[in-house]
C-alpha cells in the first residue's frame, strides 16, 4: 500500500516540503533484513545537467551559490545528508571550458559534493582529462558500466557511505549513448555496458557488503528517443533493490519524483533551474520516500504587491436647484425633500410669502447626502528566497579573475576584420559566419553545416585573435551535433531562416558545404531558387545528408523544428572550442564572402 506523507525540515530545508505535496512509497524489505527493524533518516540533495551554469542568469538557473546554501543548511541541521550530481556538469560554458572542467571541480569541492556520475558531455575534454579531474575531486566519481580496454572499471563502480545508523551504497551508470553523444575520439577504448546488467551486479555487490539503502546516480534519462533498456525506467523495471535513482540526461523536471517498481526516480531538469531534495525515512524496517524540487523562482524570492479597495461613507451638505411646477406649494416641496419649511425659506430669502410661488421660478433646497469615497490601500510583502553562499560567490569571482589571463592567449591572426555585427549576421552572409560553418565541417566531416546568425555575437578586428575574441563571438557554450536529415529538411530550414529577409532575424542561416540562391520578391516559404553542394550538385529532397549544427538548433531552437526529431549521428565539442582549434590549425581561410547566400529578384 502506497502512503503519502509530508516531512518537516528545518531552516532553508523547510521551504522544500512546505510548498507542495510529496510523493512517497513503501519499500519491500528483504526477509533477512526485516528480522532486524531499522530506524534511520537520510536526505539526498541532488542536481543534474547543469552544463557549467554556475551563475544565476536570465536563461539559466539559481546559480551554484544558492545551491550551496541549501546543501550547507541541510548538512548543518540534519544528521545524514548526501549531495549527489547526475552528470553533464564539467562542460557547457566558457567558465567551465577555459580550464577544461577544473573550475567546476573546485566549486563542487567547496560545495561538499559527495558523489557524481559522469554524463556524456563530461567526456568532452577526453577520457584522460576526465581522469585528471577525478584526481582533483574531493568527491567520488562513480560509474559501474564504463569499462576500459582491459575489461576493468574505468571509474569506481560504487562507494559505501557510513552514516548515523545506516550504510548507504551509491553506484553510478553512464548512458551508452555516450559512445556517440561526445566526439567518439574522446572515448576510444571505452565500452558503455548495458545499464541494467551492470546495475544488477552493483546492487548484488552492495548488498553483499552490507548496504542498507541503495542509491543509483545515473546519467540515463527517460527520453522516449532513448532505447527503453538504456532509460532509467528500463533499469528499475529490470532490477530490484534500488531504493532511489537520481537521474539526468533527458533534462526532465520531476516535481515530486516518479515511482517505478518501488524505486523513486528523481531528476531536476537542467541548468540548476531546479534543485532536488529527497527524504528517506525508515521506521521499524518500513521505508517512506518523499521528493521535492526547489524552483529558481522560489530560490530567488519575490516581492508581492497587493491593493485593497476600502469604501468610506459620509454625509455632506448640498444644495439642489428646483424649478417650480404647476400645483407645487412649498409645503409639498418641503415634504417631498423631507426638509423643514423654515430651512427652505432661509435659503430663499426672496420668498416673502410661502404661499406665493410662481411656475418656472427656481428655488434652492438645502439637502444632506451620503457620499461613498473609494480608498485604495497598497501593501508590499517580501517573500525571502535563498541567499547566496558568500564562499562560493567569492570563489567564482577568483576563478573569473584567473581566467582573464587565459582569454589573453593568442590563437592566430586575421588579415581582415571578421564581421559579426548584429545587423549583418542576422540578414546575410558574412566572412565570420563562413569561418564558423567551415570549422564545423572540418571538425565533424558532415556534408552540410548550418548555424544561426543570432548565435554570433561580436566581430573580430584585423590582427591578433585571442581566446577572449572567440568567446565574445560565441559566448553561449553551444556544442556541435550532427544529425541525419533529408534534402527536404535542408530546403525547409533555409526557407524558414530567410522568411523575414531583408529584415533582421536571429534564425538567419549561415551555411557551409552548400550554396543558396533565393528570391526576396517571392512570398515567404517559396523563396529558395536553388541549393547546390560545393561540388555543384543540386540538393535532392529525397536524399539523406549529414548536417552539422549547434545543439540549440538541433533541438528545434529558433523554430528549426524540422531538425528536432531527426536521428543524431554525432556529438562534438563546444562551437567556440572548434572555432578556436580551427583558427590555430588552419588559420583564417575566409577573408570575404563567397556567395553562399545569393539574393536575386
The grid cell for 374 is: 473609494
Give a yes or no: residue 482 inside a domain.
Answer: yes
Task: Please give the pLDDT value at position 359.
Answer: 86
Residue 32: pLDDT band (50, 70, 90) is very low
If one compares 328 and 280, the residue with the highest pLDDT of the two is 280
Domain boundary pick from 270, 300, 330: 300
Across 170-179, 317-326, 421-430, 560-569, least confident range: 317-326
- Distance between alpha carbon 377 and the CA centroid of its chain, in Å? 38
pLDDT at 30 over 70: no
User: Last residue of some domain: 242, 266, 300?
Assistant: 300
Q: What is the mean pLDDT of the chain?
A: 90
Give the Å distances, CA to CA, from 364 to 281, 316, 323, 339.
83, 16, 9, 12
Contacts 24+ apart (CB under 8 A), 262-266: 262/25, 262/26, 262/27, 262/28, 263/236, 264/23, 264/25, 264/289, 264/291, 265/222, 265/232, 265/233, 265/236, 266/44, 266/46, 266/291
Q: Which residues have a Cβ under 8 Å from the Cβ of 190 and sit 6 or more positions away?
A: 127, 146, 147, 148, 149, 154, 179
258 and 321 in a common domain? no
The more confidently predicted of residues 235 and 7 is 235
The pLDDT assigned to 31 comes to 36
Question: Do strands 115-116 and 81-85 pair parallel, antiparallel, or not at all (unpaired)?
Answer: parallel
pLDDT at 15 over 70: no
Which helix (H) or strand (E) segment holds residue 64: the answer is helix 64-77
C-alpha distances (whole Å) from 226 to each of 85, 255, 509 are 21, 21, 29
Task: Please say if the pLDDT value at position 24 is more than 90.
Answer: no
Does residue 345 share a domain with residue 273?
A: no
Least Cα distance to 171 among 116, 207, 216, 122 occurs for: 216
Q: How confident is the model at residue 580 (pLDDT cuts 50, 70, 90)?
A: very high
- Residue 292 CB partners (closer than 8 Å, separation 6+): 16, 17, 19, 20, 22, 255, 256, 276, 277, 278
Q: Alpha-carbon distance 6 to 23, whole Å?
A: 8
Single pTM value for the model: 0.74
Report the percent of the chain where pLDDT is more than 70: 94
**How high is the pLDDT of residue 174?**
98
Split into its structural domains, the chain has a count of 3
What is the per-residue burial (b if ≥16 Cβ within 10 Å, else e) of 283-301? eebbbbbbbbbbbbebbee
Would you mind telling me the total number of residues written for the chain in this entry? 601
User: Residue 14 above 70 pLDDT?
Assistant: no
Strand intervals (E) in 180-243 = 191-192, 213-219
**127 has pLDDT over 50:** yes
Q: Is residue 113 part of a domain?
A: yes
Residues 459 and 310 in one domain: no
Same domain membership, residue 323 and residue 274: no
Under the banding of pLDDT at 50, 70 and 90, the label for residue 11 is very low
User: What CATH number did the domain enclosing 363 receive?
Assistant: 3.10.350.10
SS3 592: coil
> In this model, does residue 2 exceed pLDDT 90?
no
Cell numbers that stand for 302 in this block: 519575490
Which neighbouring-strand residues pair with 567?
A: none
Asked if 389 and 69 count as a contact pair (C-beta separation under 8 A), the reply is: yes
Tens digits of residue pLDDT in 259-281: 999 999 999 999 999 999 999 99
pLDDT of residue 377: 76
pLDDT bracket for residue 256 (50, 70, 90): very high
Q: Is the pLDDT of residue 355 over 90?
A: no
What confidence category does residue 21 fall into, taking pLDDT thresholds of 50, 70 and 90?
very low
Sign of the alpha-carbon dihedral angle for 535, 537, 543, 549: positive
- Do 164 and 214 belong together in one domain? yes
Reported confidence tier of residue 45, pLDDT bands at 50, 70, 90: very high
- Would you state the pLDDT for residue 10? 36
Using the predicted structure, report yes or no on whether residue 12 has a pLDDT greater than 80. no
Could you tell me if 194 and 342 lie in one domain?
no
Transcribe 261-307 into DSSP letters: TTEEEE-B-STTSEEEEEEEEEETTEEEEEEEEEEHHHHH-EEEEEE
391 part of a folded domain: no
275 with 326, same domain: the answer is: no
Range with the lowest mean pLDDT among 3-12, 169-178, 182-191? Answer: 3-12
Summarised one tens digit per residue, pLDDT across range 71-95 is 999 999 999 999 999 999 999 888 9
Three cell numbers, residue 331: 409645503
Domain annotation covers residue 4: no
Chain segment 466-498, per-residue pLDDT in tens:
999 998 899 878 889 999 999 999 999 999 999
CATH number at residue 530: 3.90.780.10
Question: Do 186 and 311 belong together in one domain?
Answer: no
Tell me the mean pLDDT in the region 442-460: 95
296 and 348 assigned to the same domain? no
- Domain boundary (267, 300, 333) is at 300
Pair (284, 346) in one structural domain: no
Residue 13, pLDDT score: 41
What CA–CA distance (Å, rounded) separates 108 from 155?
A: 18
Q: Which residue segment(s) compose the domain that 332 sits in?
A: 304-379
Q: pLDDT grade, residue 288 (50/70/90)?
A: very high
Residue 29 has pLDDT above 60, yes or no: no
* 512 touches 434 (CB < 8 A): yes
- The span from the CA of 480 to the CA of 289, in Å, is 39
Indicate whether 3 pLDDT > 90.
no
Q: Binning pLDDT at 50, 70 and 90, where does residue 284 land?
A: confident
Query: Is 390 a domain residue?
Result: no
pLDDT band at 220 (very low <50, low <70, confident <90, very high): very high
Which SS3 state, helix, strand or coil, does residue 71 take?
Answer: helix
Tell me what pLDDT residue 27 has. 42
512 and 448 Cβ atoms separated by less than 8 Å? yes
* Dist CA 166 CA 171 (whole Å): 16
Listed in sequence order, the residues at least 6 apart from 405 whose beta carbon sits closer than 8 Å to its beta carbon are: none
Give pLDDT, residue 380. Answer: 79
Is 200 a domain residue?
yes
Average pLDDT over residues 52-59: 89
- Residue for grid cell 451638505: 317
Higher pLDDT, 230 or 224: 230
Query: Does residue 463 lie within any of the structural domains?
Result: yes
Q: Is the domain of 226 the same as that of 322?
A: no
Looking at residue 310, what is its pLDDT? Answer: 78
**494 belongs to a structural domain:** yes
Position 62 scores a pLDDT of 96
Q: Which residues contact 473 (CB under 8 A, 6 or more apart)?
A: 420, 432, 436, 456, 457, 458, 459, 460, 576, 579
Confidence check: pLDDT of 342 > 80 = yes
320 with 346, same domain? Answer: yes
Amino acid at each position: 500500500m502506497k502512503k503519502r506523507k509530508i516531512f518537516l525540515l528545518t531552516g532553508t530545508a523547510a521551504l522544500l516540503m512546505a510548498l507542495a505535496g510529496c510523493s512517497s512509497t513503501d519499500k519491500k524489505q528483504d526477509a533477512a533484513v526485516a528480522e532486524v527493524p531499522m530506524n534511520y533518516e537520510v536526505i539526498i540533495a541532488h542536481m543534474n545537467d547543469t552544463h557549467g551554469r554556475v551563475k544565476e542568469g536570465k536563461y539559466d538557473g539559481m546559480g551554484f551559490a544558492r545551491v550551496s546554501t541549501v546543501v550547507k543548511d541541510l548538512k548543518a541541521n540534519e544528521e545524514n545528508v548526501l549531495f549527489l550530481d547526475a552528470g553533464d556538469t564539467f562542460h557547457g560554458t566558457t567558465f567551465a571550458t577555459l580550464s577544461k572542467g577544473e573550475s567546476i571541480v573546485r566549486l563542487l569541492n567547496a560545495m561538499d559534493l559527495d558523489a557524481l556520475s559522469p554524463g556524456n558531455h563530461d567526456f568532452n575534454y577526453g577520457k584522460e582529462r576526465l581522469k585528471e579531474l577525478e584526481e582533483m575531486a574531493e568527491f567520488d566519481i562513480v560509474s559501474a558500466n564504463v569499462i576500459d580496454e582491459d575489461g576493468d572499471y574505468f571509474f569506481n563502480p560504487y562507494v559505501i557511505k557510513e552514516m548515523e545508523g545506516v550504510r548507504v551504497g551509491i553506484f553510478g551508470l553512464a548512458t551508452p549513448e555516450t559512445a556517440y553523444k561526445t566526439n567518439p575520439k574522446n572515448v576510444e577504448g571505452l565500452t558503455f555496458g548495458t545499464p541494467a546488467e551492470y546495475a544488477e551486479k552493483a546492487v548484488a555487490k552492495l548488498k553483499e557488503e552490507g548496504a542498507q539503502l541503495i542509491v543509483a546516480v545515473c546519467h540515463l534519462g527517460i527520453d522516449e528517443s532513448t532505447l527503453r533498456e538504456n532509460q532509467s525506467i528500463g533499469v528499475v523495471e529490470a532490477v530490484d533493490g534500488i531504493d532511489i535513482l537520481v537521474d539526468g540526461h533527458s533534462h526532465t523536471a520531476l516535481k515530486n519524483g516518479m515511482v517505478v517498481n518501488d524505486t523513486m526516480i528523481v531528476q531536476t531538469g537542467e541548468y540548476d533551474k531546479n534543485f532536488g531534495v529527497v527524504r528517506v525515512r525508515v521506521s521499524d524496517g518500513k521505508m517512506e520516500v518523499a521528493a521535492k524540487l526547489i524552483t529558481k523562482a522560489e530560490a530567488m524570492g519575490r516581492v508581492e504587491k497587493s491593493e485593497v479597495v476600502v469604501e468610506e461613507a459620509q454625509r455632506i451638505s448640498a444644495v439642489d436647484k428646483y424649478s417650480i411646477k404647476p400645483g407645487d406649494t412649498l409645503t409639498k416641496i418641503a415634504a417631498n425633500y423631507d426638509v423643514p419649511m423654515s430651512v427652505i425659506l432661509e435659503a430663499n430669502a426672496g420668498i416673502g410669502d410661502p404661499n406665493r410661488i410662481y411656475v418656472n421660478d427656481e428655488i434652492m433646497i438645502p439637502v444632506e447626502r451620503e457620499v461613498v469615497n473609494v480608498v485604495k490601500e497598497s501593501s508590499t510583502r517580501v517573500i525571502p528566497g535563498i541567499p547566496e553562499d558568500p564562499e562560493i560567490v567569492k570563489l567564482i569571482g577568483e576563478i573569473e579573475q584567473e581566467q582573464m589571463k587565459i582569454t589573453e592567449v593568442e590563437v592566430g591572426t586575421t588579415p581582415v576584420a571578421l564581421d559579426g555585427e548584429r545587423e549583418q549576421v542576422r540578414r546575410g552572409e558574412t566572412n565570420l559566419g563562413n569561418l564558423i560553418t567551415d570549422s564545423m565541417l572540418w571538425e565533424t566531416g558532415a556534408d552540410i553545416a548550418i548555424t544561426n546568425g543570432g548565435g554570433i555575437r561580436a566581430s573580430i578586428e584585423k590582427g591578433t585573435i585571442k581566446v577572449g575574441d572567440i568567446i565574445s563571438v560565441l559566448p553561449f557554450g553551444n556544442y556541435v551535433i550532427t544529425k541525419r536529415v533529408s534534402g527536404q529538411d535542408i530546403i525547409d530550414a533555409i526557407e524558414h531562416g530567410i522568411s523575414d529577409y531583408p529584415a533582421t532575424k536571429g534564425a538567419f542561416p549561415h551555411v557551409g558545404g552548400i550554396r543558396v540562391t533565393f528570391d526576396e520578391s517571392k512570398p515567404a516559404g517559396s523563396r529558395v531558387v536553388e541549393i547546390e553542394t560545393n561540388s555543384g550538385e543540386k540538393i535532392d529532397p529525397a536524399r539523406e545528408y549529414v548536417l552539422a549544427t549547434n545543439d540549440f538548433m538541433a533541438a528545434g531552437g529558433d523554430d528549426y523544428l524540422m531538425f528536432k526529431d531527426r536521428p543524431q549521428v554525432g556529438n562534438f565539442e563546444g562551437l567556440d572550442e572548434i572555432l578556436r582549434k580551427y583558427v590555430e590549425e588552419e588559420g583564417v581561410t575566409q577573408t570575404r564572402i563567397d556567395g553562399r547566400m545569393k539574393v536575386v529578384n
